[in-house]
Amino acid sequence: MATVEVTFTPLPAHVRTARLVAAAVARRSGVDEALLNEVRLAVGEACSRAVEAHQRHCPAEPVTIEMTDQGERFVVVVSDHAPAAAGANGNGAGPRGLVEVAHEEDGGMIPAGFGLAVISGLADDVHVSSTSAGVSVRMSWPSAITA
């Protein structure tokens, strides 16, 4: 089992770097080329969500991505550290961070949880956990090490 961990300052500019790293590690772990675009997009969505949560609640704290090659699965966990209590922002739609607010300036036509809905459509295995320490999005894809 090999793990690559990346932490980055919660700035939108770093999300691209994060998804490129994830795609590179996925390729190294033997994830099929056809799935790499899905890894890139799903990790980007999870990182965007985390960056937005941090910018609202704890901009000094870094976002963490943990990428693990578990043999038959390539697992990515994107964790934010925004306090769960901050979720009491009036929408009451579940754990803080699971409510996407990034698009509110576009008139609210993009519904809450849109980013996570995209992730669910891209990874066949998605788990979202919310604790007082923050929200973690765990995604995995099949991998096949041939080297």
| Residues lying near another protein in the complex (CB under 8 A) | 12-13, 15-16, 37, 40-41, 44-45, 48, 51-52, 100, 102-103, 105-107, 109-110, 114-115, 117-118, 121-122
The helix (H) or strand (E) run that includes residue 53 is: helix 33-57
Cβ nearer to another protein, comparing 21 with 110: 110
Smaller CB distance to another protein: residue 77 or 122? Answer: 122
Cβ proximity to another protein: between 90 and 107 the closer is: 107
Distance of closest approach, residue 110 Cβ to another protein, in angstroms = 4
CB 37 within 8 A of CB 19: no
Torsion over CA: 49, 51, 56, 58 (sign): positive
CB of 141 to another protein, least distance (A): 15
User: Shortest approach of another protein to residue 103 CB, angstroms?
Assistant: 3
Neighbouring CB atoms inside 10 A of 49's CB total 28
**H/E segment holding residue 130:** strand 125-131
- Shortest separation between residue 128's beta carbon and another protein, angstroms: 15
How far apart CA 92 and CA 71 sit, in angstroms, is: 39
Is the Cβ of residue 7 or residue 17 nearer to another protein in the bound state? 17
> Taking a C-beta distance cutoff of 8 angstroms, is the pair 135, 96 a contact?
yes
